[in-house]
Chain A
Amino acid sequence: MRLDEEAEAMRRGELGRARQWAIEHQVRVGRYFGANDLVSVTQAHIMADTESLGEAGVAWLEHLAALPKAERRVRIPTITDPRGTDFGAAQRLRQQAWMTTLEQRAITAFEELGVLMTNTCINYQTIMPPIPGEHVAYGDTGVVIYCNSVLGARSNFEGGPSALAAGLTGRTPRYGYHLDAQRRGTLLVELAWTPGALHEWGALGGVVGRLAGDYWRVPVITGLSRIPGSDEVKHFGAAMASFGSIAMFHLAGVTPEARRLEDAFDGTPPKPVLVTEQDVRTLLSGYGTDTDTVDVVVFSAPQLSLMEMQSLADLLDGRRVGVPLLAVTSPQVKPDADRMGITARIEASGAMVLTGMCFYQSYARELAEANGWKRLATNSAKLTNILGGYGYRPVLLSAEHCVEVACGGKQS
């Protein structure tokens, strides 16, 4: 890999030990993928919940944070994905003290590194959306797929250590979705049906994600009967990334690198694969239809936008939940929801509004054990895909159906 003069200086340790570790990490990763050099990035976004980090990861961060200030501070705006708790609700969630202690240690370390604790996975809706062609180092798959596909930005999946490395060096290895060639379509998907509800958009993303099946494939979707909104594409992309590890898609005629179908491909488009409503229904029914034994209802993954919060408040107005209902939003949306009375309307039903965390990143296994939760209803396809390994039996329903279940009603 070619390194510029400053990167070579970092590698020699002349800009401190943190940047030396970071550039060595980037060289190892870049070499694995055949990167020729590093590309400058303008923002980094770090996934670093403490269930993932563990004691070892937090201690590793603290080691970096103990370095002299000039050595340890990130050089580009570097923000964070959701944390592993909402400190104001940890007791109600029956999270244990060691979890919040570990979270606080991680936060302190990140602050010493100059990281902005945004604690959100919807930064493209709330913080600073990148612009077309902007190279970034983002660390949440839902963020990456949205920003690559919808906004035309350029990022690979950057796990926490690599996103932090990018923050420290202002660079990332130039491979994958930083390159034009990787951004071309590899699979043509023709839709015979356009989803309506958010859980259907997520389920469709899951179907396409399974079809595409790996990080290096780029589905191109045709046949939508209308242009979807931001929350619809948010669920679609997040589920596609989760089910298939997909980092980019094109919506022909919609997204910026596929204004025309032929723009998305190098040469003639391949023969299309047809995806029908039945394919989506099959994915949904795969989680079962039993809602009599639901222990908890969760709206999360991705965090809820202000519009999703408003819709949930509308559904809960004048009702009481009998099953715990958790609505998880970002620290940027929450103050607006508070100010507009949306939080109060949701909580008047007995539901909990949580902020700055995400359900599956918040010690989901321990939450299940502490609260007796096993059957979980959600409108997030991404969440249903993740939680099986944590011992849950998730069911994927519409938001309306989730609220009916939470309020004790039944709906076939």
Chain B
Amino acid sequence: MSVVQTFPARSAMGAKLRGRALVASDGFSARYDLDRIKGIFSRPEHKLAGRSYVGLVLILDRAKGGVATAWMLHEMASRGIVPAAVVLNTVNPIMVQGAALADMTMMSGFDQDITRLVPDGALVELDPEADPPVLRIIATP
């Protein structure tokens, strides 16, 4: 497959992977926004309300809220009800700490709003080991 577009990021961790993107211009907190049993966004006001995040590359604007996500990503991963990766314009320490414990791929810090650059449903590749780390759109929906 050919690469449609490439976007460098300032920071990343975790393994290189490919997956379908779940995209919205909204924030992210595992405690505030998710029904972690059902694997869906449950906050009624969230732009992804009702949609499953399981196995998808979650692409959202910024980290929100409190500290629980640092444990919750690990707990979600243990049950396999977890995003494949999290990509944000802006992270807070909690997201990064949570990704580190859960061994999850995470990427953040783009020159433009990444939620406007990646179409929902696109096939993307995250390469945290590249210098700089990059998000590649492999195919658009």
Contact = CB atoms under 8 A, between A and B. Distances in A.
Given A32-B96, A33-B11, A389-B42, A160 B71 contact: yes
A157 B74 contact: no
B78 A215 contact: no
A52 B68 contact: yes
A403 to B, nearest CB: 27
A215 B69 CA distance: 15
Given A55-B78, A388-B43, A215 B93 contact: yes
Interface stretch (B15-23, B30-38, B50-58, B119-127): B30-38
A388 B45 contact: yes
B97 interface: yes
A365 B37 CA distance: 11
B132 interface: no
Interface in A359-399: 360-361, 365, 385-386, 388-391
B66 A161 contact: no
Nearest to A244: B64
Interface string A148-185: 00000000111111100000000000001000000000
B101 interface: yes
B63 interface: yes
B31, B35, B70 interface centre (most CB from chain A within 10 Å) = B70
Contacts of A247: 92
B93 A389 contact: no
Contacts of A361: 68
Contact of A242 (B43, B66, B79): B66
Contacts of A54: 71-72, 74-75, 78-79
B8 interface: no
B97 A29 contact: yes
Contacts of B93: 29, 33, 156-159, 162, 176, 215
B139 interface: no
Interface string B105-133: 01000000000000000000000000000
A156 B70 CA distance: 13
Central interface residue in A32, A213, A386, A390, by most chain B CB within 10 Å: A32
Contacts of A360: 31
Given A25-B101, A158-B97, A386 B65 contact: yes
Contacts of B101: 25, 161
Interface residues of A, number: 46
B74 A60 contact: yes
Contacts, number: 134
Contacts of B91: 32, 215
B24 interface: no
A159 B90 contact: no
Contacts of A32: 11-13, 91, 96, 100, 106
Contacts of A29: 93, 96-97, 100
Nearest to B41: A389
Contact of B71 (A34, A159, A385): A159
Interface residues of B, number: 40
Contacts of B44: 388
Given A33-B11, A60-B74, A139 B90 contact: no
B138 interface: no
B62 A162 contact: no
Contacts of A53: 71, 75
Nearest to A141: B66
A49 B68 CA distance: 9
B83 interface: no
Contacts of B11: 32-34
A52 B72 contact: yes
Interface in A43-98: 47-49, 52-57, 60
B13 A57 contact: no
Contacts of A56: 74-75, 77-79
A159 B98 contact: yes
B67 A28 contact: no
A242 B31 CA distance: 11
B100 A157 contact: no
A124 interface: no
B32 to A, nearest CB: 5
A317 interface: no
Contacts of A48: 71
A47 B65 CA distance: 14
Interface of B: 11-13, 31-35, 42-46, 62-72, 74-75, 77-79, 90-94, 96-98, 100-101, 106
22 contacts: A29-B93, A32-B96, A47-B70, A52-B72, A53-B71, A56-B74, A139-B67, A140-B66, A159-B67, A159-B97, A161-B70, A161-B98, A214-B63, A214-B92, A244-B64, A245-B65, A360-B31, A385-B32, A388-B43, A388-B44, A389-B35, A389-B43
Given A141-B65, A161-B71, 16 more contacts: A25-B100, A29-B100, A52-B31, A52-B72, A52-B75, A54-B75, A55-B75, A141-B67, A160-B70, A161-B74, A162-B70, A162-B93, A214-B90, A386-B32, A388-B45, A390-B42
